[in-house]
Amino acid sequence: MKILLGVVLSVKMHKTVVVQVKHFFKYFIYKKISYFFKKYYVHDDFNFCLKNDNVYIMEFKPYSKIKFWKIIKII
């Protein structure tokens, strides 16, 4: 079970939001910490999320072809 922290980018779909998560990684040779962004399609049962909300998402059963995540907490 994975839990990630991200920012809501889009709320245009019904019961679906797009969340952007920042992932960190380290170059072992150069000792530099870098990051990249990844977008996830997340299930929102009651359409409570607004744009730019910070949310915790959890890996869950597949809701559709692209939705495998569910919102567990809005910060």
- Per-residue pLDDT tens over the stretch 8-32: 999 999 999 999 999 999 999 999 9
Per-residue confidence (pLDDT) for residue 39, from 0 to 100? 98
Measured CA to CA, the distance from residue 22 to residue 48 in angstroms comes to: 22
Q: What are the tokens at 45?
A: 């049962």
Per-residue confidence (pLDDT) for residue 23, from 0 to 100? 97
Per-residue confidence (pLDDT) for residue 42, from 0 to 100? 98
Percent of the chain having pLDDT more than 90?
99
Per-residue confidence (pLDDT) for residue 3, from 0 to 100? 98
On whether the CB atoms of residues 72 and 57 are closer than 8 A, the answer is yes
Q: Which CATH number fits domain 3-74: 2.40.50.140, 3.50.30.50, 1.20.120.420, 1.10.238.10?
A: 2.40.50.140
Measured CA to CA, the distance from residue 52 to residue 66 in angstroms comes to: 21
Domain boundaries, given as residue ranges, for the chain: 3-74
